[in-house]
Chains A and B, each alone.
Chain A
Amino acid sequence: MDLSLLFGSAFLATWLTASVRLSGPILLAALGETFAERSGILNVGIEGTILFGALASYLACFYTGSPVIGLLAAIALGILSNLFLAFMFVTVRASQVVVGIVFNVLALGVASFVYRVLMGEAASPQPVTMFKPLHLPLLSDLPIIGPILFTQTILLYLTIALTALSAIILFRTKFGLSLRAVGENPKAAEAAGIGVARMRYIGTAISGAAAGMAGGYLMLCEVGLFRDTIVTGQGFIALAVVILGRWNPWKAAIAAFVFGAADALQLSLQLFGAPVPPQLLLSLPYILTILAISGVFGGKAVQPAALMTPYEKA
């Protein structure tokens, strides 16, 4: 194939537009996870919550025809399932990795069971109404960045707004300060009158709302059909994005874009018929994650001091 085609503007535009679109769910999940980890909870069950969000948004949108209701259902189920996780993490004080991994198996079982019960085994899959790309007036006419940034769906704009909101809440409010205190030094926070358990429940619930929303994004902006395998590690990649973003929403947005770009590269190269095995390109985001969090470059990230440590009230 012609290499100039590869680096031509058509390729770049397709690639970058897809990069922004695909980074949406990763960033959403990572924003929520930032709150959980800042409060001291490493939520490996995020993958299962995204799957629940995808299922809830599919079913709600299928029965009502409204993607907005689908999104709300995804957020609601995300919060609900993470309250259960918070019970296991905070009240039972079970190992966070263990609970998360087992919860992912549970979510896979429940989602696949519910889908089959409600939609039947043999029926051909029914697509649902999805969010349409929204061309922002004026902005989408800007050269180069216009078509890339401002022809996305409403959910992507919402995600960018949530990034700003998360940064403000975490670093500019009393609530954010309390949350971070609980993740760094729960004993001192408790002494200062902050409810450690309460903050961790809230952090995990925020993570659930965002992960549910990420599932809704996958369903309502990208796929439109439910299958058991719809979530392919976006939750785990979001965990990596949180580390790379050093528990900071804006840096997480940059990291999420890099992963979206790795994912989109595979789609765009296939679209333009590059002679590379698709599996090699598909594995790019995962290999990138491994290299990025292995600490081979850039040194070790300093995580919240009380991350993964259950807190027992004295």
Chain B
Amino acid sequence: MSRFIERRLAPAEGPIAIATTMGAAILIALVLGGGLFAVFHTNPVTAYMTLFGEAFASLRGFGFSLVKAAPLALIALGTIVAWRSGFGYLGFEGCFVIGATAATAFALATADNGMIGPLPFLVFLPLCILCSLVAGGIWAGAVGLLRARFGGNEVLISLMSNYVGILLVQYLISGPMRAPGGLPQSERLPQETWLPFIISGTRAHAGILIALLAAILVWALLKKTPVGFEMIVTGLNPSAARYGGISTSARILLAAFLAGGLGGIAGMVELLGVQHRLVDGMSGGVGFIGIVVALLARLNPVWVLLTAVLYGGMTVGADAMQRSSGVPSSITFILQSLIVLLVLASELARRYRFRSPFQVALAPSEKA
């Protein structure tokens, strides 16, 4: 290669090598992103201090970061369940709005004049979670069925289903579910159905606990149950899985249902915790950022909690900076995607190593 670096026979996979290259990649992404602040004559270092300070330095700011992190973590968990089972699902924008719609319908039915009538919150919440889980699950499960039954390409089908879901909700809130008034939106949900705040002095709501619980359940499913093991084997090598007696179609269907369900719950959390009514454009790209969050956590359900808080915090910080210094908040999309792209590219660095200057030079024929 050259005098100073040489190619390894296999990429370095040790924890130190991975941590170093990932750290370097994140640093480079932040330096590149820092150049964008310079456009606004802001010192990048102070800009990052402001950005992360807004998100993590105060209890109030941290509360906002957690609020943004909850739906991201849920979608990332859905990504993990689907992708580790070999189901390349990308339809979380659709699941998110479908789940929110189901939750809206159920919550409105529990209003005083609703179909069901008021329920105690501890009865309402599990039922509402179930509603959005089933709605999102069926939405994604349909794609899983097309893949398992007809061999359709789930990547493209799920991308298309996002548009169908978003248009369906647009139709519902401008037609059947529309509240009287100028804007296309649903009635406001009864206050009894809102998720309670869990940290006083912040907007942090109980949806964060739902995400935490989901992370534990997904971890337990994949690591501790036979079904989870079969799902992972299906993802790693479908023909070996079939040979071992695993019904891969059934596992893919289950993965699709659970992934969509988690995406649906993400929509419910955003609805009951923040919006309190069904509006258009509620997802705002969260279905894709959630996938990015899962990728940064290397599809690990525990690490996802950390990366979701990091990415949620970046959104909070950038929104605050847009208000205070006019830097467009789209800078978060740039930073969030650049970090993952560079982390992926850093795999390249793990294929090489520094050549020791004291090492005896190998004969050309021995070089890998």
Contacts and interface: CB of A to CB of B under 8 A. Distances in A.
B326 A121 contact: yes
A110 interface: yes
A92 B347 contact: yes
B291 A101 contact: yes
Contacts of B341: 88, 99, 102-103, 106
B247 interface: no
A25 B163 CA distance: 18
Contact of B156 (A104, A236, A283): A236
Contacts of B289: 105
Contact of A286 (B164, B171, B338, B347): B164
30 contacts: A87-B345, A88-B341, A88-B344, A92-B348, A97-B88, A97-B155, A98-B344, A99-B341, A99-B344, A101-B292, A103-B341, A105-B285, A105-B292, A105-B336, A106-B333, A109-B330, A109-B331, A109-B333, A109-B336, A110-B334, A113-B330, A113-B334, A236-B159, A236-B160, A237-B160, A279-B168, A286-B163, A290-B164, A294-B157, A295-B152
Contacts of B126: none
A138 interface: no
A161 interface: no
B333 A105 contact: yes
A286 B164 CA distance: 7
A174 B39 CA distance: 47
A300 B151 contact: yes
A109 B334 contact: yes
B295 interface: yes
Counting contact residues on chain B (CB < 8 A from A), the size range is 35 or more
A287 B164 contact: yes
Contacts of B156: 236, 239-240, 243, 289, 293
A101 B287 CA distance: 11
Contacts of B23: none
Interface in A1-46: 44
A101 B92 CA distance: 13
B114 interface: no
Interface in B127-172: 146, 150-153, 155-157, 159-161, 163-164, 167-168, 170-171
Given A88-B345, A290-B161, A293-B152, A280 B39 contact: no
B337 A109 contact: yes
A105 B72 CA distance: 15
Contact of B331 (A91, A103, A113, A233): A113
A295 B146 CA distance: 8
A123 interface: no
B288 interface: yes
B234 interface: no
Interface string B86-116: 0010100000000000000000000000000
A280 B172 CA distance: 11
A283 B328 contact: no
Contacts of A93: 347
B36 interface: yes
Interface in B233-280: none
A191 interface: no
Contact of A108 (B170, B175, B295, B330): B330
Interface of chain A: mostly helix, strand, loop or mixed? helix
A192 interface: no
Given A233-B163, A277-B171, A296 B336 contact: no
B145 to A, nearest CB: 9
Given A279-B170, A300-B151, A102 B340 contact: yes
A232 interface: yes
Contacts of B330: 108-109, 112-113, 116, 228
A293 to B, nearest CB: 6
Interface of B: 36, 39, 88, 90, 146, 150-153, 155-157, 159-161, 163-164, 167-168, 170-171, 174-175, 285, 288-289, 291-292, 295, 326, 328, 330-338, 340-341, 344-345, 347-348
Interface residues of A, number: 46
Nearest to A93: B347
Contacts of B171: 277, 279-280
A207 B171 CA distance: 35
Interface in A37-91: 44, 87-88, 91
A103 B337 contact: yes
A92 to B, nearest CB: 5
Best-buried of B157, B285, B332, B336 by chain A (most CB within 10 Å) = B157
Contacts of B88: 97
Contacts of B336: 105, 109
Contact of B152 (A44, A87, A236, A294): A294
B5 to A, nearest CB: 16
A232 B160 CA distance: 10
Contact of B150 (A109, A116, A294): A294
B331 A243 contact: no
A102 B347 contact: no
A73 to B, nearest CB: 20
Contact of A294 (B146, B159, B167): B146
B167 A283 contact: yes
A89 B122 CA distance: 49
A105 B160 contact: no
Contacts of B347: 92-94
Contacts of A296: 146, 150, 152
A248 B213 CA distance: 49
A87 B88 CA distance: 22
B35 to A, nearest CB: 11
A287 B332 CA distance: 32
Closest 8 CB pairs of A and B: A109-B333, A294-B152, A109-B334, A106-B337, A279-B171, A295-B150, A112-B330, A105-B337
Contacts of B150: 294-296, 300
A74 B161 CA distance: 29
Best-buried of A87, A102, A282 by chain B (most CB within 10 Å) = A102
